[in-house]
Copies of this chain bind each other. A is one copy, B any other.
Amino acid sequence: MRLLFFRKDNKRIIKLSAMLSKSSTKYIQSLHHKKYRDAGNTFIAEGSKVVLELLQSGHIACNEIFGMEEWLHQHEPLIRKHFSGPLHSVTDFELEKISLLSTPNQVLAVFSKPAPAIFSPVAKITLALDQVQDPGNLGTIIRIADWFGIEGIVCSLHCADMYNPKVVQGTMGSLGRVKILYCNLPDWLQQFKNIPVYATALNGKNVQNIKGIKEGILIIGNESKGISEEVMQLATQKITIPKTGAAESLNAAVAAGIILSHL
């Protein structure tokens, strides 16, 4: 590992140091687990696109960046607009040791978790996830929400952790743009009695006939168990994606994408 320092005039001074230390390696590897992410209130993000988007989010503080030297040189001007800490230059081999990707992608960074999101479902569409436990699905849903301009997602307490590295990767950087709140979902829903609550179900109204909705909460359920009874009882309208074939169900993220595209 080499530490790259910058003087105020932005001329680079490269200081050669020893290999990535054992303690740094262990620390980053510990962040693959929720327990340690929670303890330190930090998380990791990997890959050029994801790291650069999070750096630019404006509200997620970066603690450390471990990048291939060429990548650090290339993105130095952009990085320095948002981050003043030390940049660690790592080799392929070192990056592989701390990465969770099968093909590590040039950079891994440690970020501080921002304060829990605050938003209201009034006058907009909000997604509510009831036990979406697959990190890949949660990441994809966050990305879909960002595509459709959804401000916030409410996750039940049994959803996957939004800072799970697979979620972070799946969002492709959208994590910095969509507000996400974890809470007791039934309690949260009961606060908003005058807002329509849409639930995906097998016996609901055809999604193709539901249009031009500007306000409402859309609930997506657990893929195998669907929406829990307690949450379903709080829905004011059931929605169905019509099926013409034989598959028993659709992936939760695909269902979210289809419904949002119709609203």
Contact = CB atoms under 8 A, between A and B. Distances in A.
A33 interface: no
Contact of A254 (B144, B146, B173, B245): B144
A245 B148 contact: yes
A177 interface: yes
A136 B169 CA distance: 15
Given A144-B250, A146-B246, A149-B243, 14 more contacts: A140-B251, A143-B247, A144-B247, A147-B250, A148-B245, A149-B245, A150-B245, A172-B248, A174-B247, A177-B245, A255-B257, A257-B257, A258-B258, A261-B262
B243 A174 contact: no
A174 B257 CA distance: 20
Interface residues of A, number: 33
A148 B243 contact: yes
A250 B143 contact: yes
A157 interface: no
Contacts of A172: 247-249
23 contacts: A140-B254, A143-B247, A143-B250, A143-B251, A144-B247, A144-B250, A144-B251, A145-B245, A147-B241, A147-B243, A147-B244, A147-B245, A147-B249, A147-B250, A148-B243, A148-B244, A173-B247, A177-B246, A177-B247, A207-B261, A251-B253, A254-B257, A261-B262
A72 B28 CA distance: 44
Contacts of A243: 147-149
A143 B243 CA distance: 12
Interface string A114-142: 00000000000000000000001000100
Given A254-B254, A261-B241, A261-B258, A247 B146 contact: yes
A32 to B, nearest CB: 14
A255 B258 CA distance: 9
Nearest to A171: B247
Contacts of A143: 247, 250-251
A177 B244 CA distance: 13
Given A207-B261, A251-B253, A258-B258, A245 B146 contact: yes
A93 to B, nearest CB: 25
